[in-house]
Chain A
Amino acid sequence: MTASLAPPRKRQLHAPKFILAGPAIVWWVLFFIAPIVFVIYYSFGTKDTTKLLPVNMSSPSLHNYHQAFSSTFFTTFKATLKIAITATVLTTVIGFPVAYFLAFKVKEKWRAILLALIIVPSFTSFLIRTLAWRIPLAPNGQFSTWLQDWGLIHGPISILETRTAVQIAIVYNYLGFMILPLFVALDRIEGVLREASKDLGAGRIATFAQVTLPLAGPGIAAGVLLTFIPMCGDYVTATVLGGAKGNMIGAMIDQQFRGAQDWPLGSAIAVLMILAVLLILGIGVGLVMGVQYVLKRRRRVTIAQLEALT
């Protein structure tokens, strides 16, 4: 009855399906994609400070990339990647037990409180958290005095304004952003699977290695992406704690843009940074897939083998 009453509904919406996303598409193309395309374009130009936009595009060349591969840039590059890779490994190693504990070993009520306690410091101003590390690391600070009194170190702490300070603070700054995706992934693993593994005779370690860890894979990948890539471009930590010795690639790009006004060189370094990050991630993905392939082959059980067993 209702069908006959309803007006013959043609598809009213002839608008394309992406119409709701239209504003976002326009906004991101205008202020994200197009600007980055222009950075790539500028990286082939030459510096020209006489213009408001200090780039001369009359004779595009690879000159900036040549210069970017010179020794200073290369050392900073290497140091940045080293800091970022070390920090990613450390945050994973430190964060995984925490995420595991939260996902499997805590009651729901406590879990909420503990999660809140991890989220609050992680979402507090990045700059303030970095600045905070100047207090315990200060050479003439309280912490330094204590360590000297206990005879653990001789002479004041001397890691402020070095790469070590940057390394410590970076691990601290990104720890929460590693724990959260890890927790989400572990939390989504259904208890039944782990139970089944135990019922089928696997011990704790075997269950962890063969069930929990592979299922946590997406979480680990998300955590690595969310920490490693921003770490590579991070320049706040390096500026606040690193001084001249703890320079990172992000700070170097900033210096080229705002200090030296050498936009083409800065752009070239930025492009190289992205390429290097992609390369490292590619290698990482390749390694993981390789290991998975080998494991799969080793664990493969054929019907013939099963029959031989029984």
Chain B
Amino acid sequence: MTAAVLPITSEASATTAPRSPKRRRRPDILRGILAFWCGLVLVVLFVPIGLVVLHSFNRGGSFEVWSHHTTTRWWGILFDVHKAGPSLFQIVLITVIGGAIIAYVPRLFGLANRFGRQWGFPLAFAIGVAVVGHRTNNFHTVFRDKNVGDALRNSFVAAFGATIVAVIIGGLAGVGLARRPGWWTKPFMLTVFLLLVTPEIMDAIALAGWMQRFPAIFNKKFLGFDAGILRLWIGESLYSSAVVTLIVRARLAGIDESLEEAAGDLGAPPARAFRQITLPMISSALVAGALLSFTICLDNTIIAEQVYTAGSSTFPIYLLSQLRSTVKPSVGAAAVVLFGITVASLGFVAVVLKRSGDSSSQIAATLAGG
């Protein structure tokens, strides 16, 4: 016999009365303390990263001990300055000019160019990377240190492929979860949950053993890629596909199925309704999921280290191998490059989600896994 909620009288509910002025004027001490704490945490979060950037310019031979003098020598060891600078410039140039052409020129001729405005710059960026990549022998000549160059390139190829897999299977599963729930939803969500929380080392050893068991499949070249790359695609796609699933599901959960039903009633076959109605609705979730997945995959260390083969060592694996001897500041320089890519890709996530109308809180929710 517990008491129910006390009935609120109309009198009580109507009192949106102004608070006493005394209370309002009191300075919010708690707020000040919390703001200070938050600032402190932010400083601590950024200091180590700042130190890495700083130490990549260290004149001394050690990554750890600051010599009080700066040099760009380590960047020179990593990159061929005469190639890297112009290459970067070319990519930026192609992105800006090409993007502007795709996005704005059709407009001059009075064409509605929704696709161009939405995808002009990303498309131009992709073209720029492809063109410059072709001119520099797949970015081979940009790097002076071939090991770092190969490792970074492998990281990209692996993360890119894994992201494609993750977006396809995660996107479809997300739509299925939101639109065709049933008895399968619970076990399926349990699997997603397990994927998110299983310690990576467990996935890693399990996959390594599994791939060793079927050497005929996993030790062969695949579509012209090294066998290790296929292994990395599989290994890195697991976690990120779960993330994409959750993001897509969260996006569709807020919208009911009436639009798709209307399309169906108007005679659109399911495939067409999916392409013309559902896909545009989830496109921002897919792009955000893809970029997030790319960031996660680029960083994958534990699974990559267990499943890679000699020719497909990725950048984190290279970094770990460098730890056996004294760490050189050039490691810091490479780390800064990776950091820049992460920031850029997160920035894109924020822009994409913001454009689709999400508030910062919703973006945070997306990043925290739906």
Contacts and interface: CB of A to CB of B under 8 A. Distances in A.
Contact of B368 (A34, A184, A230, A240): A184
A223 to B, nearest CB: 9
A233 interface: yes
A73 interface: no
B346 A119 contact: yes
Contact of A121 (B49, B175, B202): B49
Contacts of A172: 44-45, 48
B323 interface: yes
Given A24-B172, A128-B335, A123 B199 contact: no
B363 A39 contact: no
Contacts of B275: none
A256 to B, nearest CB: 9
B209 A25 contact: no
Contacts of A48: none
For A7, A32, A116, A270, the residue with the greatest tally of chain B CB atoms inside 10 Å of its CB is A32
Interface string A204-234: 1000000000000000001001100110111
Given A21-B173, A28-B195, A125 B38 contact: no
B104 to A, nearest CB: 28
B181 A17 contact: yes
Contact of A39 (B168, B172, B209, B360): B209
A229 B188 CA distance: 20
Q: Is the interface of A mostly helix, strand, loop or mixed?
A: helix
Contacts of A7: 267
A38 B339 CA distance: 37
B196 A233 contact: no
B238 A125 contact: no
Given A17-B181, A126-B299, A127-B301, A119 B364 contact: yes
A270 B202 contact: yes
Contact of A117 (B42, B64, B191, B209): B42
Interface in A227-273: 229-230, 232-236, 239-240, 250, 253-254, 257-258, 263, 266-267, 270, 273
Given A33-B191, A52-B212, A172-B48, A125 B338 contact: yes
A35 B30 CA distance: 51
Contacts of A301: 2-3
Nearest to A55: B209
A19 B369 CA distance: 24
A222 B207 contact: no
B360 A24 contact: no
* A interface, size bucket: 35 or more
B134 to A, nearest CB: 28
A86 interface: no
B206 A36 contact: yes
Contacts of B46: 117, 121
Interface string B187-223: 0100100111111111101111110110100000000
B49 A129 contact: yes
Q: Is the interface of B mostly helix, strand, loop or mixed?
A: helix
Given A32-B203, A36-B206, A184-B364, A175 B41 contact: yes
A254 B209 contact: no
Contacts of A136: 47-48, 51
B169 interface: yes
B201 A270 contact: yes
A49 interface: no
A25 B201 contact: no
Contacts of B235: 31
Given A180-B364, A184-B368, A233 B238 contact: no
Contacts of A140: 64-65
Given A39-B205, A124-B342, A135 B365 contact: no
Interface in A42-76: 42, 52-53
B132 interface: no
Interface in A287-308: 300-303, 306
B156 interface: no
B234 interface: yes
B170 interface: yes
* B interface, size bucket: 35 or more
Interface string B295-311: 11011011001100000
Contacts of B201: 233-235, 250, 253-254, 270
Nearest to B195: A32
B94 interface: no
Interface in A1-37: 2, 6-7, 9, 12-13, 17-25, 27-28, 31-36
Contacts of B208: 257
A300 to B, nearest CB: 5
Contact of B48 (A21, A132, A184, A257): A132
Given A101-B34, A233-B202, A108 B360 contact: yes
Contacts of A180: 364, 367-368
B165 interface: yes
A73 B101 CA distance: 63
B115 to A, nearest CB: 25
Instruction: Pick the 8 closest A-B CB pairs, nearest first.
Output: A233-B199, A20-B176, A132-B48, A35-B206, A112-B360, A35-B210, A101-B34, A24-B173
16 contacts: A17-B181, A17-B182, A23-B172, A24-B170, A32-B195, A53-B213, A112-B360, A127-B319, A127-B320, A131-B323, A132-B49, A225-B197, A236-B301, A250-B201, A257-B306, A303-B1
Given A39-B205, A172-B48, 20 more contacts: A17-B176, A21-B177, A38-B213, A97-B38, A119-B346, A120-B342, A123-B367, A125-B299, A127-B320, A128-B335, A131-B335, A132-B52, A135-B48, A135-B55, A136-B51, A175-B45, A229-B198, A240-B320, A254-B205, A267-B205
Interface of A: 2, 6-7, 9, 12-13, 17-25, 27-28, 31-36, 38-39, 42, 52-53, 94-95, 97-98, 100-102, 105, 108, 111-112, 114-129, 131-136, 138, 140-142, 172, 175-177, 180-181, 183-184, 187, 199, 204, 222, 225-226, 229-230, 232-236, 239-240, 250, 253-254, 257-258, 263, 266-267, 270, 273-274, 277, 300-303, 306
